[in-house]
Amino acid sequence: MNERLLDEKEAASLLGMSVAWLRDCRNGRRRKGPPYIKLGTRVRYSRDAVAHYIAECTR
């Protein structure tokens, strides 16, 4: 995996949502958000996973 992972701010920006929205999704307060990767205390998102999430939400 040579892909650079996105941090919360970058993923939120790509989605057009807030960092708080992403956190709420991870904590089960909102519907399921994009899959994330937990590295120690850090949370990262795969660009491909975010793009796939966007495609799934497209109606």
Question: Position of tokens 């992403």?
Answer: 22
The model's pTM is: 0.85
pLDDT at 1: 57
CA 28 to CA 6: how far, in whole Å?
A: 21
pLDDT by residue, tens only, the chain of 59 residues: 567 899 999 999 999 999 999 999 998 887 889 999 999 999 999 999 999 999 998 88
- Rounded to the nearest 5°, which phi and psi values hold at 3? -75, 135
- What distance separates the 2 farthest-apart alpha carbons in the chain? 35
- Tell me the two tokens of residue 39: 């590295």
Residues composing the chain: 59
CB neighbours of 9 closer than 8 A, spacing ≥ 6? 19
